[in-house]
Structure 1
Amino acid sequence: MSNEKDDLLSGNVEDLEIKGIIGFDGTTINGLIIHPDGKHFIYPLGNKVTIHEVHTKVQYFLSGHTNTVSAIDVSRSGKYIASGQINHIGFKARVIVWDFETRRILSRHELHKVRVEAVSFSSNDAYLFSLGGRDCGSVIVWDLARGQVVCGTTVAHGIQGEASTLLSMNRRSPCFMTAGDNHLAVWSVNKEARKVNGLDVSTGKLKRSVLCMDVNERDEICYCGTATGDILKIKLNYHHDIDILMPIKLPIIVGCFTRISKKKLPVGKVDLYSLGAPEMAPSNYKLDPTVANRLIDFSEVFATAGKNSVRVWSMKTLQELLRIRVQNFSASSVIFSHDGKSILTAWNDGIIRSFTPLTGKLIYAILNAHNKGVSALATTHEGDILLSGGCEGQVRIWSVTPYRQQLVCNLTEHNAPVSAIDINKAGTEAVSASTDGTCIIWDLVRQCRRQILFGTTLFMCARYYPTDLQILTGGSDRKLSYWEVLDGSLVREIEGSQSGAINTLDISQDGSVFVTGGNDQIVKLWNYQEGITTHVGMGHSAVITSAQFSPDQKYIITASASGSIFIWNCPIKFIKNKPQEKASEESETVKEKKTETTDDHKEEVIQNLPSARSDKNGKRDQMTP
């Protein structure tokens, strides 16, 4: 025990281990690649490269980048994976070559400035071509066998625009093409002279911004998708002898194709693709920004919510079990009731909706819960009291039963949106955090304010310590603050981040550790008593919006504004207790219900939970699900 404490005080910070990642943001051009073996597909997410096995659903993660991965490619043989990243202005961007079988780094270089736009392997896996961004403007040829640079050159010159995409030839391995905004060129590598020779494509008066390219098997014709929605056909004019690397004539555009419209158009006009032609493949799917939460005493599922939907996921398979759609609205908070019989959600239309966790059937909806949208939710262990926070700054206490949802009290102390609400274990107190710079401790029995906490920050999150004697808060000042519940005094203040606000935090059930996430995109695990970071998790490519411990303390779930969900393995030394027998029995019951529903395709039987809507006055209208 003393050795662990010495390690903490000496500043030894370990990395959190990733169990799985859910999400695909689709921002990387050609970012979803099927491996030549047909059993895996590869895609980047954050600063990780994910290898997903199709049949077993097992994920492998390649870690080595320090920032968001911006380019990726797989060799024709499937032996290598290449990835490039973005970096801050003034710093070099890294390109890494991975071995697919061993998942290890073979070579790397940092020769590009700020950003790597594209990477591409030659047809015989001899070279790796990498293209820099607008701050770099150069292409680097990397020898894979020797692990060193062959040559490099500036791609765009003179009146030409910026290059943004890269394509390798099929028959001539030392040849490649670059394209971009008013830029289109053919290149060949002279390994002996360590030089790259280029030849511009003759476009005449035609000016286009090329987004993607593809070439036929004989390197005769190249097709280019453009931002204006048309497709260019280019004749490359290569000699029939593949040993002659440069075209014998100047490559030239021989056609410009557009979509054929069924309607008649005026003479001299054409109908283009309205959103351009970014890819010559089906469009990528993007997950909504999510807010993660978990089911009390049941660690095998968790829920997320975002725009238009609420989703329930399996912790074991990382697959979606249920999707509840509420079109045209966004959820700001999602929680499970403590008995696991309902999912409570807060929406920006001012309605609180409760759903069943197995079928997604609407149990009840509290209309006009808040005037400017519901921003936070919390419920007691008994489930009869529900607290909601609104964007207008009010905290409302509701008496909730399946048949009746009635407003008990309206607490109007905050002057800005309520960002978080937490209730103590006894159900007698609650704390609400607001962006007006205050946290208020409420007496739920007398329905009045007990203490108020002031800070020079926009409070974003607040949690009770398991003993209910202290409160931990975080906000825009990047500080983590310990408060005494009895008198509201500030006990300790530590720096939670060096660069961004603290958006979310959660404390483990035994109170030994807590997890934080914020605008710096870093997940941090802290020792509560020492106030020292023990572990960090890197991988998110956007602001972290939520972080939660699983009830069995084995996992940490984090979600970000990009829509990605990361599941981290909690360090073994922090896993204290086994699930109780009661929790196990409840888990088995829920499993049996889920199995029956899945196998027999029967509708869920809800006892004493009729579908109903209630407004804040307690009036109830029956609804059809």
Structure 2
Amino acid sequence: MVAHPDREHLIYCLGCNIIIKSLLTNKQDILYGHTNNVSCVTVSKSGRYLASGQVTFMGFKADVIIWDFSKKGIHARVQLHKAKVEALAFSPGEKYLLTLGGQDDNNVVVWNVETKEAICGSPASAIRSGQCLTVQFCNNTDDVFVSAGNGTVRVWELDLANRKIRASECQSGQLKRIVKCVEISQDDTYFYCGTTSGDILKFNLKTRLLNSVGPVKQKFIKGVNAMKELITGDLLVGSGDGIITLCSKSNFKTLKRVQLEGGVTSVTLRGEGQQFFVGTEASQMYRFNYVDFKEEVIATSHSSAVVDAAFPHGSSELFATCSGSDIRVWHTELSKEMLRISVPNMTCNAISFTTDGTSIISAWNDGKIRGFTPETGKLKLMVNNAHSMGVTAIAITKDSSRIVSGGGEGQVRVWKILTDSHTLLEIMKEHTASVNCIKIKSNDKECVTASSDGACIIWDLVRFVRNQMVLANTLFKTVCYHPDEYQIITSGTDRKIAYWEVYDGSAIRMLEGALSGAINGMHITLDGKHFVTGGGDKLVKLWGYDNGDMTHVGIGHSGCITSVKICSNNKYIISTSSDGGVLRWRYPQPAH
């Protein structure tokens, strides 16, 4: 995460995309161009250019994209490094861009930003095992930069006439360290190296000699991940244990410190540093004022794949998402986290609101069904041993008195929920693989289950028998009733959207839903005129139900889409993805 020099924008990466967020209006611009996850991002001194590098697969070249900030478009796309781009740095005059390859490449290359061509390159370290992890240009000259990593700290000089870069090793005596970040002082006399062992090395840039090491007593636990020098010369240090520390420039003594959630991954100054921003591994963004040194959370998100999303019945103000070991409730309009419910070391597979909105019912991989209050997150229902191989799907009847759950072993179970207890009404065994989706008919007398065994079964919830079964050569991922409830639509790994007759299970229509990847999520509007799908092709698609044509496509996700939901008043679509992204879309309104 980096702050733009205009003091009005924050730039960070989400999967393959670069997000430019306005600090004044919270408006977001998304830059598309990378084909895989972005590994590093930097901004030039004036803010005219952004640069971002990505990871790719072994044997392939990884892209570096230079973006024109004002146009929000690609200025240049360059390729030289194999598998990963480790770090990037612009020269202070914005003439050059420095790119560093990952461990399979370990080369450093200088590019001319204007001509978009490589000027020169060199292996980043003298020894094969000494992988370089970071690069930084000096603040006042375009010809000198520093690189550092595993057992290597070097100062480089650019010889433009001969198209060469010359490195000189910095001497640190017996000290052996792995350097994760470098910060060069404003006047280019010293530079600081943050290490994995939790200390900071201070080198003289002119003599290339080690000046001092600190702090002597209280080292930074889990290493120094990010550093920034303030105008006073003091250092802001972010460590792997989630502590942001203000250190004195002389002996690295702690002046102020604040504990944050998740290890610190980035520290960036707004303007002169009266205000600064910190990003953490837990996908939290914090804003600090230098004077009071107090943290303010400005953005939160899931830090692992988001599996499911749900709106409360008849409301679009709030929605809930689940990911890893937590469930979060969000304010739709403000995109703000209102509540977080955590169950450590467990994974939540599905969530749903009761019709009256008093509970969030959730399915967990430890075989339990848990119910929480949406206001406080208090546990109010726990069904132990609901399924032997984890609960994989869940649905609640309209009268909120019964829960239908599906498990990894393929069983469908019906539970009666009382005020302070629950009873198992029936076990229905027909599926032979995990149940992925359950939908209940509006009269609570019938439900449909979609499974990885290639079957969708329509069950009678009064007699607890199978009414109908549809079979296809696919792993069914999702199923929906049309609001008239005489048809269901299904989709899965065969990328087909299939319409089926509820009465006799006959196939009515088959649509080609995607060109690649499974279709994992589907939801129909209350009037039944449209439905939305999302899946492995990372596109959110809106379809007309009657004629089966695709009317709108939403591009924004950089990971595989896991679920899509339309709110009851057709105002928003929420989609979630495997990269931890939750995207809110405006539902396209018909032209009058």
Answer yes or no: same fold by TM over 0.5.
Answer: yes
Give the length in aligned residue pairs: 521
Pairing 1:427–2:475 present: no
- Please point out which of 354, 357, 362 is paired with 1:340: 357
- The C-alpha deviation readout for 1:162-206, integer Å capped at 9, x for no partner, is 333221112223221223344433223334444433333346676
Q: State whether residues 47 and 538 of structure 1, in contact with CA within 8 Å, keep that contact through their aligned partners in structure 2.
A: no
- The structure-2 alpha-carbon separation of the partners of 1:514 and 1:115, relative to structure 1 and needing over 3 Å to count, comes to farther
Pairing 1:559–2:576 present: yes
What does residue 417 of structure 2 align with?
400
- Please point out which of 167, 170, 195 is paired with 1:226: 195
User: Deviation of residue 476 (structure 1)?
Assistant: 3.5
What does residue 374 of structure 2 align with?
357
Q: State whether residues 301 and 314 of structure 1, in contact with CA within 8 Å, keep that contact through their aligned partners in structure 2.
A: yes
What does residue 50 of structure 1 align with?
19
What does residue 127 of structure 2 align with?
159
Cα distance in 2, alignment partners of residues 189 and 467 from structure 1: 71
What are the equivalent positions in structure 2 for 1:57-456 lying under 5 Å apart?
Answer: 57-88=26-57, 92-144=61-113, 146-149=114-117, 151-156=119-124, 159-160=127-128, 161-202=130-171, 208-236=177-205, 238=206, 251-253=208-210, 257=214, 260=217, 275-280=222-227, 281=238, 282=244, 283=264, 284=280, 285-286=282-283, 287-288=302-303, 289-290=305-306, 291-402=308-419, 405-456=422-473
- The structure-2 alpha-carbon separation of the partners of 1:253 and 1:532, relative to structure 1 and needing over 3 Å to count, comes to farther
Cα distance in 1, alignment partners of residues 451 and 382 from structure 2: 25
Cα distance in 2, alignment partners of residues 380 and 141 from structure 1: 63
Look up the equivalent residue of 1:213 and give its one-letter code. Answer: V
- The C-alpha deviation readout for 1:23-78, integer Å capped at 9, x for no partner, is xxxxxxxxx22334444322111222222233433323233334322211122333
Give unmatched runs, 5+ long, in structure 2.
Answer: 228-237, 239-243, 245-263, 265-279, 284-301
Q: Mean Cα displacement is larger for which, 432-441 or 482-491?
A: 482-491
Q: Mean Cα displacement is larger for which, 311-320 or 455-464?
A: 455-464
Cα distance in 1, alignment partners of residues 203 and 4 from structure 2: 28
User: Deviation of residue 112 (structure 1)?
Assistant: 4.2
Cα distance in 2, alignment partners of residues 519 and 104 from structure 1: 26
Look up the equivalent residue of 1:83 and give its one-letter code. Answer: S
What are the equivalent positions in structure 2 for 1:454-473 lying under 5 Å apart?
Answer: 454-473=471-490
Cα distance in 2, alignment partners of residues 529 and 112 from structure 1: 50
What does residue 518 of structure 2 align with?
501
- The C-alpha deviation readout for 1:394-437, integer Å capped at 9, x for no partner, is 21222335455333222122233322111123333211122333
Q: Mean Cα displacement is larger for which, 81-90 or 377-386?
A: 81-90
Cα distance in 1, alignment partners of residues 528 and 161 from structure 2: 65
User: Deviation of residue 561 (structure 1)?
Assistant: 3.0
- The structure-2 alpha-carbon separation of the partners of 1:183 and 1:516, relative to structure 1 and needing over 3 Å to count, comes to farther
Look up the equivalent residue of 1:389 and give its one-letter code. Answer: G
User: Deviation of residue 378 (structure 1)?
Assistant: 0.9
Look up the equivalent residue of 2:117 and give its one-letter code. Answer: V
Look up the equivalent residue of 1:151 and give its one-letter code. Answer: I
Cα distance in 2, alignment partners of residues 428 and 235 from structure 1: 78
User: Deviation of residue 151 (structure 1)?
Assistant: 0.6
Taking every aligned residue pair, what percent have the same amino acid on both sides? 42
Greater strand proportion: 2
Q: State whether residues 98 and 105 of structure 1, in contact with CA within 8 Å, keep that contact through their aligned partners in structure 2.
A: yes
What does residue 614 of structure 1 align with?
none
User: Deviation of residue 302 (structure 1)?
Assistant: 0.7
- The structure-2 alpha-carbon separation of the partners of 1:486 and 1:566, relative to structure 1 and needing over 3 Å to count, comes to same
- Please point out which of 562, 570, 573 is paired with 1:545: 562
Aligned to 1:278, what secondary structure does the other structure show?
strand
Please provide the CA RMSD for this pair. Answer: 3.1
Give unmatched runs, 5+ long, in structure 1.
Answer: 1-31, 239-248, 262-271, 577-625
- The structure-2 alpha-carbon separation of the partners of 1:541 and 1:61, relative to structure 1 and needing over 3 Å to count, comes to closer
Q: Mean Cα displacement is larger for which, 532-541 or 484-493?
A: 532-541
Pairing 1:40–2:9 present: yes
Cα distance in 2, alignment partners of residues 463 and 366 from structure 1: 26
Cα distance in 1, alignment partners of residues 413 and 405 from structure 2: 5
- The structure-2 alpha-carbon separation of the partners of 1:177 and 1:529, relative to structure 1 and needing over 3 Å to count, comes to farther
Look up the equivalent residue of 1:153 and give its one-letter code. Answer: G
Aligned to 1:279, what secondary structure does the other structure show?
strand
State the TM-score, normalizing by the size of structure 2. 0.78
Q: State whether residues 75 and 125 of structure 1, in contact with CA within 8 Å, keep that contact through their aligned partners in structure 2.
A: yes
User: Deviation of residue 442 (structure 1)?
Assistant: 0.3
Look up the equivalent residue of 1:334 and give its one-letter code. Answer: I
